Structure 1
C-alpha cells in the first residue's frame, strides 16, 4: 500500500500497514487519521487493557456518583451505601437510553427517563414497570465493569475476561503506596481537549527529547535531558537520600504485551536537580509531605500503565494523567492533582502554585501535539527515525503494533 494512499484500509490493509512499518521509525500517517484503525485501537487496546478512571476521593460519601465519558462509552462510578465502589455502563438494559442524566451527585437509584426502569447504584434492577410476571429483574442489571481499587486509585476494564492485574497491584503498592496515595485526596482536575489522535498525545508524553525545546519551565527543575552519566550520578544521590529516610520506593519494568494475559506497567525513578525539592516553579515545596516521606528526597517516581494511564509521584503531591480517545483525530488529556488528605487549600497549599508547573507544561504539550496532528495530515508526511532519547516512544510504538496485530 502506498504511504500516500487516502482510502480507508480494509482489515487486510491494516495488517499490511503493520507489516510495512519500518523498525526504529515512527508510525505512518493512517495510524493517526484513519477511522478503521481507530476502531481497531478501541477493540484491541482500549477494550483490552485496564484504565485508571479516578481517585476514590471523587466519590467520598455513600451514594456519591460521577459519570466518565471514554470514547463512545459512559461509565457511572458509584459508591454504594456499604462503601463498595462500582463501575457501571450508563446504558439501560431495556432500550439503551442513558439511565443517569447528571454528571455527578448523590443518588441511591437511577431512573431511566425513557420507561422508568429503576436501578440501584450497585447496578441491580429494582423495578421495571408493567413487565410480565415471568420477567426476571436479576437478569437485567446494568452491565458492571471489572474494577480494582489500589492505593486509592480506581482502575476499570471493559474486557469480559480482564488481563491479570497482580503485577500492577504489587508495583503500585511499592510506588504510590510509599507516597501515601491511599490516604490522598483530589485537589484539582483539569481536562484538555486535543485535536489529535490519542496516540500522538501518548507518544509525546512518554519521551523527553522535546523537553528542552518545548518545556523550559519543566527543564529548570527536572534533569531527564542530561547526559546519561550525569543522570546516573544525580539518581545515585537521590536513592541515597531516600534510603536515609528509611524508605524503599519500588521500580520495575513489566512493560509487556497482553500475549500472556498480563497488564503492562513500568515504574522508574529519576532525580531532580540538586537543591530542587519538588515539581514547582522554583523547586520549593508545595504542600504537606505524603505517605512515608518525612523529608524531601529530591526525586520523582513515574509510572506508565496499560497504555493510557500515567502517574507521577512527588513527596508532597501526585499527578494522574489520563489519555481518552474521542475519535480518529480527537482525544482528551485529564490531569488530576493529589495531595495529603489532611491538607487544606489556603493553609497547607496554594492551589495556583500547586498546579502551575503541570498546567504550563500541558498547555505547551497541547500546542505541540496539535501542531504535529496538522502536520501528519500532509500526503507527503513520512515518519522519520526515532532518536535515542525517545526510547520509551519506540517501545510504546512496538507495543502498540503488537497489540493491534492480535485479535481480541
Structure 2
C-alpha cells in the first residue's frame, strides 16, 4: 500500500489511517481506496454497517407473508411482510450452523425451514422448532438476527447497526419531498441491475456530480438543466419554483448532510429545473405516466435526494427513480434502478414501459461504461488524483464525508 509523505501522521496510525491523514484536500482519492481489500473491509464495517440503506419499495412485497431476499456484500437480508402487515428484515443465516434458511429469491411463506438440520423459523425471524435439541435449549434465544427497519413514504430502510443512527430528520424530509409525489401509494413498474467492474465508490462518485453529464450523457443533457453550473440555471430554477407554488404544492428541500459523529443519518434534498418545455425525464421530454401525488400538472422540475451514502432518489411529477449502490467485492459493485409509477397505473394502458425506462436506461449504460473506464485507469501505479472541479462540489463533499466515516471505529 502506498504511504503518503506526511510528518503530521501519528506514529501509531495504521496504513489506512495514514492514507486518510495524507489525503490532499480538494482532490480525489488515491488508487488504494479503489482496490485495497483492507480498505474495502473497513468500508463495510464503518460505513455500510453503520448507516441506513433503502433496500426496496414496499410494493415488491404487496401481500401478507410475501418475502424477498436482498444482498449487500456478503450479507443476505430477508425482507418480509407479516400477517399483520408490518415489514421485518432479518439475516438469512441459520442460528445453528449458519446455512441459508431461505433458498428462494422471493415468494410467499409463513415460515422458513433450514435445509440443513430443519430448524424452522417464523417469517418474523423467531425460532419455532429445533428438532432433537435438549430440554434446556431456549428457542427464544436463537431467532434469526433481526435488523432495524423503517418504512417511510413506501420506502423500506434497513440498518445493520445495534444502535442505528437517528432517522427522524430523514423521515421529515422524505415526507416533504417523496410525500408530495405520492410515493407511499406508488408501485414498482420496473427493476434492473447493472453489474459494474469497479469499486462501489467510483460508481457513487460518478452519480453525485454532473460535471460529466455534458460529455458522457448527451440524452440527459438535452432535457436536464443540471448539466450546467448552478449559477447559469438560476432563472430556470426560479421559474420552476413559481410553477410548483402555483399548483399549491411546496416540495421540501434541505441539507442535513452530516457525518455520523452527530448521531444522525445524512440526507440532502435539492430541486432543479428541466429545460423550457420539458415536462419529464424521457427521450423527448414528454410525460411517460400519469401524474402522481399532489401534482395536477407538470412543474418542469426534478427533486433529487442523496441519503446515507448509498441511496439516491429522483422525483418527477409522473414517475420516480430509486438508485441503489451495492458493493460486491473490492473491484465489483452493482447499480440497481427501480422505476416507480402511480399505484393505479397499468402498463400498456397508462404507460409504455420502454418509454418510461428509456432515459435512465441509456444514462446508466453510459455510466457503467465510463465508471469501468475509470476503474481500469486508476489501477495504474502512476495515477495521481487531480483537483475536484467546481461542478463536482457534491463529489468533494462526499469524499470528505467518506474519509471521516472510515477514520472512526
TM bracket, shorter-chain basis = over 0.9
Choose the corresponding residue for 2:318, options 316, 319, 327. Answer: 316
2:384 to 382, 385, 388: 382
**Corresponding position of 1:156:** 158
Cα distance in structure 2, aligned partners of 1:71 and 1:266: 25
Does the alignment pair 1:62 with 2:64? yes
2:146 matched residue in structure 1: 144
2:81 alignment partner in structure 1: 79
Following TM superposition, by how much is the alpha carbon of 1:226 offset from its aligned partner in structure 2, in angstroms? 2.4
Tell me the CA shift for residue 3 of structure 1: 5.9
Deviations 1:14-61 (Å, cap 9, x if unpaired)? 000011100000000000000000000001100000000000000000
The TM-score normalised by the length of structure 2 is 0.97
1:224 deviates by 1.0
**Secondary structure in structure 1 of the residue aligned to 2:302:** strand
**Does the alignment pair 1:225 with 2:227?**
yes
Does the alignment pair 1:372 with 2:356? no
* Structure 1 runs, 4 residues or longer, greater than 2 Å off: 1-5, 225-230
User: Once the two structures are superposed, what CA deviation does each residue of 1:49-74 show, in whole Å capped at 9, x if it has no partner?
Assistant: 00000000000001110000110100
Equivalent position to 1:27, from 22, 26, 29: 29
Q: 1:229 to 1:383 in 2, by over 3 A?
A: closer
CA shift, 1:381, in A, is 0.4
Measured after TM superposition, the shift of residue 180 of structure 1 is 0.2
Asked whether 1:270 is paired with 2:272, we answer yes
CA drift at 1:133: 1.1
**2:9 match:** none
Q: Give the gaps of 5 or more residues in structure 1.
A: none
In 2, the alpha carbon distance for the partners of 1:280 and 1:166 equals 33
Supply the distance in 2 between the matched residues of 1:188 and 1:11 (Cα, whole angstroms): 47
Kindly state the Cα deviation for residue 225 of structure 1 after the two structures are TM-superposed: 2.4
2:243 counterpart residue number? 241
State the distance in 1 between where 2:2 and 2:118 align: 53
1:164-193 alpha-carbon deviations (Å, 9 max, x no partner): 001100000000000000000000000000
| Whole-Å separation in 1 of the counterparts to 2:3 and 2:144 | 44
| 1:393 and 2:390 matched | no
CA contact (8 A) 2:2 2:32 kept: no
Match of 2:327 in 1: 325
Equivalent residues in 2 for 1:48-197, closer than 5 Å: 48-197=50-199
Q: How many Å separate the matches in 1 of 2:381 and 2:4? A: 5
* Aligned mate of 2:337, from 327, 335, 338: 335
Of 14, 39, 42, which residue of structure 2 is paired with 1:40? 42
Q: SS state of the match for residue 227, structure 2?
A: coil
C-alpha distance in 1 between matches for 2:358 and 2:225: 18
Counterpart of 1:304?
306
User: Is the contact between residue 3 and residue 28 of structure 1 (CA under 8 Å) also seen in structure 2?
Assistant: no
Offset, 1:152: 0.1
Shift of 1:11: 6.7
Measure, in 1, the Cα distance between the counterparts of 2:90 and 2:383.
Answer: 42
User: Aligned to 1:278, what secondary structure does the other structure show?
Assistant: coil
d(CA) in 1 for partners of 2:2, 2:103: 46
Length, aligned pairs only:
403
| Preserved contact between residue 229 and residue 391 of structure 2 (Cα < 8 Å) | no
CA distance in 1, matches of 2:72, 2:22: 30
Alignment partner, residue 253 of structure 1? 255
**TM-score (normalizing by structure 1):** 0.97
In structure 2, how many angstroms separate the alpha carbons of the residues matched to 1:226 and 1:194?
27
Q: Deviations 1:323-345 (Å, cap 9, x if unpaired)?
A: 00101000000000000000000
Given that residues 324 and 335 in structure 2 are in contact (C-alpha distance below 8 angstroms), is that contact kept between their aligned partners in structure 1?
yes
Q: CA separation in 2, counterparts of 1:56 and 1:155?
A: 10
Structure 1 residue aligned with 2:8: none
* Cα separation, 1, equivalents of 2:288 and 2:227: 24
Partner of residue 281, structure 2: 279
CA separation of 1:11/1:68 partners in 2, compared to 1, >3 Å: closer, same or farther? Answer: farther
Partner secondary structure for residue 333 of structure 2: strand
